[in-house]
Chain A
Amino acid sequence: MLKYLFTNYFISAFRSLARHKMNLVLTIIGLSIGLAAALMVALFTLNETSYDEFQPDAKRTYRVVMQHIPSGGEFPLTTPRGYQYLKKVHGVEDVLNLMRTTYLMGRKLQIGAEYFQLDNLIAAPENLTDFVSMNVLHGHLTAALTQPDKIALSSSEAIRLFGSENAVGKTFVLVEQNQTVEVVAVFADFPDNSHYAMDSIITANQFMQVIGKHSHTYIKLEQGTDIAEVEAEITEILNKIWQDKSNEIRFYLQPLLDIHLAPNFNTDLKVGGSEKTVFISIALSILLLLISSFNYINMSIAQAGLRAKEVGVRKVLGATKFQLVIQFLTESVVITLISALLACGIVELLLPAFNQIVFRELFIGDWSQYIVVIIVITLFIGITSGLYPAVFISSFNVHRVLGGDFGRGKTAILVRKSLMVLQSALSVSLIIAASSLYLQLNYLQNLPVNYEKDQRIRLLDMAQEQVYPRDNQSFYQDLTNIQGVISATPTDFDLTKSTNAGAFVSSVPGVADFNQQMGFAGVGFNAVQALGLQLIAGRDFSTQYQSDWFNEQLSTVAIIIPESVLNTAGYQNAEQAIGQIWQFGAGGQQNLKGKIVGVVKDVKIGSSRESSGPVLFVCGLPIGGIYSLVLEVEDQYSAQIKQAVVTFVEQRLNINAVEIQLVKNDYLSLYQGENQLVKMVGIFSGLAVFLTCVGMFGLAAFSAQQRSREVAIRKVIGATRTSLVLLLTSESIVLIGLSLLIAFPASYYFIEQWLNNFNDRISQTIIIYVTATLVVAMVTWATVAIIALRTASIKPSSSLRYE
């Protein structure tokens, strides 16, 4: 009996759905988009939160991070010389030092007649695999980790250098060291969901005593160890080694599993994810699901009247209210299941495109893992969306329904109008919110950086003595004499990434406690010109003032300060700062006397994700460790100019394989991650807006249809088609107007609150609000007008025939 009843319900559901094809299609489109988006975001979130989970003892592994307490500035690299002391700390089971080789050795190699550069070359100790899970494809890893002339390559690196994956036994020559190196192992490329990233590995033994912060240091703790205690001990040890008695530096332990989503460091092994992106994606997908469900509920209630007769008849025939509710729930579940199926198809199709946006390699290898969860969620959505309409419809009073009274009463009209107001309010608010979100993110992306990205090229990996010549400015004179080169300056950092050192200003005349940590930018003459900085007072470092250059005996040097510190330093305006002497320390130098010769607008270093502190430009004092030459050229794309520069530099400085990069490209690649987020937000918001318009469309269409009888009557009495279209559309415009009373204040308030979280924020403009209203109004108006026109064109005899 029950089985028969369910079959009856299913058949009934299908037939009834088939009759109202347009509504069915609209609902399914809406639901499947929402479900597909939710599914993809779920995949993304699962992936993002699972980084490094598969590493051995992942839960007990931590990364050591240095923190400058007064400013909160952090740095994830430490000195490797702490190794034996750290190992002895109570509770520490093991220590891993992964060394960046960027500053420690030349990485140019020669194979036959070709030159390559090893990027992502990491020096690792023997216990590497105790911390990092690796899949060795050929050969044995150990030799590479213990012997000085052996190396392990990743599979794609092996293919790049030698053309085939199994490169074990092959050799190459390290150019600078004139050393032959043998490949002893090839390992599988590191998986996407790990923050570790290495393309080649050599032994760290030779570097364990280097001076400088070159090591990513990881610690494995024993079970139940007190983290705070360990942190305190580590702080003491590392501060002693670095001879820092300032009590301003501490070291803390960052859990391995938190690293990927925590704020990124420029020195990270690879670009990490962002908690913000994960949260925003989750919020957006929930929003899409909510909108689809809301659309569905709205449409079902609006169309309740259509099913009234059926309900009345079924009740007369003996159905209880409960059975009716079940019947209608069956319908919603059927619809949701169909949508879910469609959603899975959409995901299969669009996942590659989604991967492009989020910069990951998500995939669904095996649907069967997800099927159960998908079905459960689908049922949940189907039942919750369908519950209210089902109860609503089943409560129809039999007498009124069969008497033909239903659907014409004041209540029905009120319900229809209220739903339209609600839907319109939602649509308008959503468009406003989505636009504001997109605009704000876009704004952050495009904040002025106050240095020039265009017509700038960088020569990388220069030797310090060669580009910071105390007495040899002829190099720069000849360089700028080259056709097409306008100016040049050395730098000890990368503007598009970060400063490599900090400046600790200890004394500013007139200020008692100047506690501002600043980035240190060691540059040369003509820095403002070459880097395209925005000077607001004073002058550039210039060869006309030889005293600008760092003088070691006198400890004097010229500095250029950023605008943002004028206030803290007590200057009323930029001019006041010129000529002032500040005392500061940087690198190994303490008590330097810096004379301010210029003030520039703050440069925005790195991406908008990191809050960059103010940067102090210093003339002729290289500290950062990695040195490049920045040139201002007439045409950054001119191969001629580049060739001339390269030839000149190679000859003059006696080096080969000079690498040139466009500053502009560096900048763009840094922003790739940000762009992805903005793109994703844009797409999801666009989808949300689309869904709400679909909902509006369905509701408007339905409202117009409901009045078709009235349209026929008016036509008989003498209405023209125009007057009928005007009549129907004016009602919808009025309703939209009403909805603005809700939408505008609510949107304004919540968006204001959100925007106030940002230091740099857009201000809300009326344009967004007006545009949102226009979009919704036009969709509704067009829908109603078309249907009104259609209805008004039917011969009145046909509409009035069936009553």
Chain B
Amino acid sequence: MIKLTNVSRVFRTHDVETTALNKINLMVKQGDFLAIMGPSGCGKSTLLSLLGMLDSPDGGDYMFGEQNISRFGEGKLAKLRSSSIGFVFQSFNLIDSLTVFENVELPLQYLKISRSQRKQRVVDILTKVGIDHRADHLPQQLSGGQQQRVAVARALVINPKLILADEPTGNLDSKNGEEVMSMLRALNEAGTTIIMVTHSEHDAKYANRMIRLFDGQVMLDKASETQREVNYA
């Protein structure tokens, strides 16, 4: 579904040039659950931004499905992104002035879906993640775990082809973290492709594939041990 060929991204501030990604090659198949790991500053977030069409590569090609989107303008990227990709961030990134319902409804509004349809889909997804009883609350009134569930709901409501998660359990305690990871695994088993950036070896085990980045380059690319074990079971 996704193919990165020799992708590079260089940041220039004043006189300093930082090569965040150095000729990355990566292939992600439909249904994969990929964990991207690596120390701080290795380029994980940059890679995620690129994959998520929030940024464009300076060199190389990005094939999404049948399309080479590496030279797509911001507008085109935005259109594609908003209908195909759901995001889950470490700090939730909910909009403080909107209720839970309104937050989850937002992507559908931008996709110009009718009011009644929106209502139905939002209610469904809120029930699915188990946060429907808080539909009229504001984000500040929820706990961390609840906020992340809302974020997941928001990511899911568009029926995305791909979910990108950046340290999804980073701001959560272990119990809530477990809940979120289980939810992601369940989604993957139902067919959603997930790419996740994480520090946590524990979380990485939920994935079926793992790559390690170091200084902008892929060091290791292997399916996780668990997956292997399952295959051979």
Contact = CB atoms under 8 A, between A and B. Distances in A.
Given A723-B110, A796-B54, A714 B78 contact: no
B82 A718 contact: yes
Given A795-B54, A797-B49, A797-B54, A717 B97 contact: no
A408 B110 contact: no
Nearest to A409: B140
A150 to B, nearest CB: 84
B81 A718 contact: yes
A718 B140 CA distance: 23
Given A710-B95, A723-B110, A803-B91, A715 B78 contact: yes
A717 B110 contact: yes
Contacts of B79: 718
Nearest to A709: B93
Contacts of A716: 52, 54, 81, 87, 93
A746 interface: no
Contact of B107 (A409, A717, A796): A717
B155 to A, nearest CB: 9
A474 to B, nearest CB: 92
Contact of A718 (B52, B94, B107): B107
B209 interface: no
B1 interface: no
A739 B55 CA distance: 41
Most chain B CB inside 10 Å of its own CB: which residue of A409, A714, A796:
A796
Given A717-B106, A723-B110, A796-B54, A408 B78 contact: no
Interface string A22-57: 000000000000000000000000000000000000
A365 B97 CA distance: 58
Given A800-B89, A803-B91, A413 B97 contact: yes
A408 B147 CA distance: 15
B26 interface: no
The A interface is mostly helix, strand or loop, or mixed, namely helix
Contacts of A665: none
B49 to A, nearest CB: 4
B45 interface: yes
A801 B93 contact: no
A720 interface: yes
Given A795-B54, A797-B55, A718 B111 contact: yes
A241 interface: no
A801 B83 CA distance: 22
Interface in A343-382: none
B154 interface: yes
A683 interface: no
B221 interface: no
Contacts of A803: 90-91
Counting chain A residues whose Cβ lies within 8 A of the other chain, the interface size class is 20 to 34
Contact of A795 (B55, B82, B83, B87): B55
Interface string B86-106: 010111011111000000001
Interface in B34-84: 45-46, 49, 52, 54-55, 74-75, 78-79, 81-83
Contacts of A801: 45
Given A718-B110, A797-B49, A801-B45, A713 B55 contact: no
Contacts of B90: 803
Most chain A CB inside 10 Å of its own CB: which residue of B91, B96, B107, B138:
B96
B95 A713 contact: yes
A800 B88 CA distance: 12
Interface string A721-732: 001000000000
Interface in A672-730: 709-710, 713-720, 723
Interface in A370-424: 405, 408-410, 413
A735 to B, nearest CB: 14
A797 B91 CA distance: 14
A803 B106 CA distance: 22
Interface string A426-448: 00000000000000000000000
A408 B95 contact: no
Most chain B CB inside 10 Å of its own CB: which residue of A410, A713, A719:
A713
Interface in A783-803: 795-797, 800-801, 803
Given A408-B140, A413-B96, A718-B107, 16 more contacts: A408-B96, A710-B95, A710-B96, A717-B106, A717-B154, A718-B78, A718-B81, A718-B83, A719-B110, A720-B75, A720-B78, A720-B110, A723-B110, A795-B54, A795-B55, A800-B54
Sort A-B residue pairs by CB-CB distance and give the 4 closest, nearest first: A718-B82, A718-B110, A797-B49, A797-B54
Interface of A: 405, 408-410, 413, 709-710, 713-720, 723, 795-797, 800-801, 803
